[in-house]
Amino acid sequence: MMKYKNLLQILYRNYRKHGVLRLTGILSLLFILSGCQTILSPEQVTATFWKAMANGELESARKHTTQDTQYLVNKQESIIGTSPETGVIVINDPNAKVATVIALNNPENNKTLTFDTVLLKENNVWKVDYRQTLNNLSILPFGEVINSLRGIGDVINKKLEQQMPFIENQIRSFSDELIRQLDEFRNQLEKTNPTEKQ
């Protein structure tokens, strides 16, 4: 920061002394300031976007969305006043996904949404693709059903693993009984029809 302050002082002194240098000083200052603009990471964009949504600051939120999805940004009462959190980030330039968690403000239902916020690079700046993010939000109920079915499958699998020794014993017992009955049947056939054996 000290370098910029010194540089600004030098530019200001030259600006006052020399008329031609005034224009050069102003242009240099603009060039330096434009070069200092920080580019936000996907995580920072996601956090800033959802914080703006949680505060009801739609214009601020729109600044962080892609040009073609800004019109989709509307007030979401269920997230007003929440504290969105971000998690795992996956970057596949020019796309990124940031895991997002929002605990909804609903006293009747303490529901937490966990989904991916999708980002794209637009003019080399990360922006939220709000359409794709909304798609991720819309499939959440199906995700709960799938997780529920997966849980049921896991329980069934665990029970089957526990019962496998019993099932194997039952199959062996059935197989032994079947062989015994087949032997008896063959013996009875041989007794009733002894001529075929010769």
pLDDT of 22 strictly over 90 = no
- Write out the two tokens for 130: 């709000």
Find residue 92's DSSP bridge partners. Answer: 95
- Residue 31 has φ and ψ, to the nearest 5°, of -65, -45
Q: Are residues 48 and 68 in the same domain?
A: yes
Q: Are 93 and 157 in a shared domain?
A: no
pLDDT greater at residue 53 or residue 156 = 53
**pLDDT score of 143 more than 60:** no
Question: Is 129 found in the same domain as 46?
Answer: yes
Closest CA to 123 of 67, 183, 195: 67
One-letter amino acid at 104 equals L
Residue 39 has what pLDDT? Answer: 83
Torsion of CA 117, 67, 36, 21, to 10 degrees: 180
Q: Same domain, yes or no, for 62 and 129?
A: yes
Helix (H) or strand (E) holding 126: strand 125-128
* Lowest mean pLDDT, pick from 72-76, 139-143, 177-181: 139-143
Looking at per-residue confidence, does 162 or 129 come out higher? Answer: 129
* Res 119: pLDDT: 95
pLDDT at 67 over 90: yes
Q: What is the pLDDT of residues 78-100, one digit of tens each?
A: 788 888 888 888 988 889 999 99
Q: Whole-number mean pLDDT of the chain? A: 79
Alpha helices in 18-129 (DSSP H): 19-35, 42-54, 58-62
Please report the pLDDT score of residue 1 as a whole number.
Answer: 47
* pTM for the structure as a whole: 0.54
Same domain, 58 and 29: no
Range of the domain at 89: 42-137
Strands across the sheet containing 125-128:
85-92, 95-103, 112-122, 125-128
Asked whether the predicted pLDDT for residue 163 surpasses 70, the reply is yes
Q: Are residues 57 and 120 in the same domain?
A: yes
Instruction: Count CA atoms closer than 13 A to 155's CA, side-chain side.
Output: 6
What letter represents residue 43's amino acid?
E
Segment among 11-20, 32-41, 152-161, 188-197 with least mean pLDDT:
11-20
CATH number for position 64:
3.10.450.50
The separation between CA 70 and the C-alpha centre of its own chain, rounded to angstroms, equals 21
Average pLDDT over residues 36-56: 87
